Amino acid sequence: MAKKNFKELFDPKESKWGGISLPMFLAALVVVAIMVYVPFGLDKEGNPGSFLRPNFLIMFSALAVFGLLFGEIGDRIPIWDEYVGGGTILVFFVAAVFGTYGLVPEKFMKAVDVFYNKQPVNFLEMFIPALIVGSVLTVDRKTLIKSISGYIPLIIVGVFGASVCGMAVGFIFGKTPQDVMMNYVLPIMGGGTGAGAIPMSEMWSSKTGRPASEWFAFAISILSIANVFAIITGALLKKLGEVKPNLTGNGELIIDNSKEAIRDKEVEVKPELTDTTAAFILTGILLMTAHILGELWSAFAKSHNIDFELHRLVFLILLTMFLNIANVVPDRLKAGAKRMQTFFSKHTIWILMAAVGFTTDVKEIGAALLPSNVLIALAIVFGAVGFIMLVARKMKFYPIEAGITAGLCMANRGGAGDVAVLGAADRMELMSFAQISSRIGGAMMLVFGSVLFSMFAS
């Protein structure tokens, strides 16, 4: 795929603004600016009013225009795109600046808060389940079963190594083990932004009663730092393989090639709109079931003095894994779930990141960029890779390929981070294993995070 460039953005014949041409996008930008900034009439309290009607469609579209403006630019900035996170991270940071320094009216900020994280809208409760169901349900069933017995233990070793090294460096800077685990290891090893840090922030919020953006602001800063280290480490491991050829399979992960390798076979059926609609309905039914189970567990735990909760998203993950392993979901419905997941993960992520950004204090992000945090993030990345490489050969994996997939592809920004890491390591053929790390490994970290937050978050 051709690399994005700035020239195509300003070509009126192209449609590079999220599928919209430049003239149409500029017109949309003007309309949104009028709605947000131009005063009109008086509100119910007698204060200056505006054109803003804060329903779902209007807020979705306004945030989309903001996201497209900075997202398309961010995806074309050299170095920033390759190492920091491109448009997704730029949208978040710019929105945080706008929100922190009052560059948008208070009425708009309140509408964003409801859209993002409060009833009756709460876009998060649509976005997160769609990603979880679409990700877990569309991993090939045989791959999922084999991963549980073979590759997933390697991921667990990486999480253990990340935790040990992170806590060791954290101890030097006066950080408690609980602090390192909840605020450093979880966001870094949690499967990226959309399917990791965002649902974790909701879990943290449900436990503490504080805004999800409070935890997310620090988490996204730490994750961005670790993502840079993961990509650079991928390039270093490539060089190590050239110097020490006995450590690498040159793109092969499993040492015993006589055994069938784990393959992440995607559903190949082309879905119709009815399949995508059915997948969306199935996601809603599974979320209802997960919510019921979560409430029942909460009541059971309370009555038996059990001191931790299991978030409804944990039950959603377990239910989806069960459906996949039991092989009760037709391929067409799985294909529809994949299409649903793609829509949310690729085409609405900037909308969500804009909403999260507006409700985040950018000063907290700046405060996270301390030498201590950088060194802890580095220790977590190196710890994951180092521990995996130490045991990989005994587990019938090549050390370098194991470190890249089960280590670095857990310690990055998810799907986009996987591409960057594998590209830097020149191991794109390992994408199937990278996806298992991001999807199933990330889902495991959500379960782990739910338990940690229930025990230590306050």
In order along the chain (458 residues), what is the average pLDDT of each group of 10 residues?
A: 82 92 96 95 79 93 96 90 79 91 94 85 86 83 74 93 97 95 94 79 87 87 88 90 92 66 56 94 96 91 74 85 92 93 88 86 78 95 96 92 94 77 83 78 87 85
Output DSSP code: residue 360: S
Q: Which pairs with CB-CB distance under 8 Å and at least 24 residues apart come from 208-215?
A: 208/453, 208/457, 208/458, 211/117, 211/359, 212/117, 212/124, 213/117, 213/356, 213/359, 213/360, 213/361, 214/364, 215/183
| Listed residues 121, 152, 186: the one ending a domain | 121
- Count of domains for the chain: 2
| Listed residues 86, 121, 156: the one ending a domain | 121
Show the domain range for 275: 125-254+266-457
Same domain for 408 and 308: yes
Same domain for 95 and 234: no
**pTM for this model (two decimals):** 0.75
Q: Which residues pair with 397 in a beta bridge?
A: 254
Same domain for 387 and 336: yes
How many helices (H) and strands (E) are present in the chain, helices listed first?
A: 22, 2
How far is 339 from 267, CA to CA, in rounded Å? Answer: 10
Residue 326 is assigned to a structural domain of this protein = yes
Residue 368 is assigned to a structural domain of this protein = yes
Which pLDDT belongs to residue 261? 45
Output DSSP code: residue 249: -
| Listed residues 97, 121, 145: the one ending a domain | 121
Question: Do 205 and 355 meet the contact criterion of CB atoms below 8 Å apart?
Answer: no
Residue 201 is assigned to a structural domain of this protein = yes
Residue 1 is assigned to a structural domain of this protein = no
Residue 144 is assigned to a structural domain of this protein = yes
Which pLDDT belongs to residue 263? 46
Output DSSP code: residue 20: B
Which pLDDT belongs to residue 260? 46
Same domain for 240 and 206: yes
Residue 130 is assigned to a structural domain of this protein = yes
Tokens of 123: 């876009």
Same domain for 133 and 114: no
Amino acid at site 285: I
Q: How many residues does the chain have?
A: 458
Same domain for 96 and 160: no
First CA to last CA across the chain, in angstroms? 46
Same domain for 204 and 156: yes
How far is 413 from 429, CA to CA, in rounded Å? Answer: 19
Q: How many CB atoms lie within 10 A of CB 93?
A: 22
Which pLDDT belongs to residue 432? 67
Same domain for 152 and 99: no
Same domain for 240 and 335: yes
Same domain for 70 and 191: no
- For 341-352, what is the HEC assignment? HHHHHHHCHHHH
Amino acid at site 66: F
Question: Do 170 and 177 meet the contact criterion of CB atoms below 8 Å apart?
Answer: yes
How far is 220 from 320, CA to CA, in rounded Å? Answer: 27
Residue 48 is assigned to a structural domain of this protein = yes
Question: Do 412 and 242 meet the contact criterion of CB atoms below 8 Å apart?
Answer: no
Same domain for 377 and 246: yes
Same domain for 295 and 237: yes
Residue 313 is assigned to a structural domain of this protein = yes
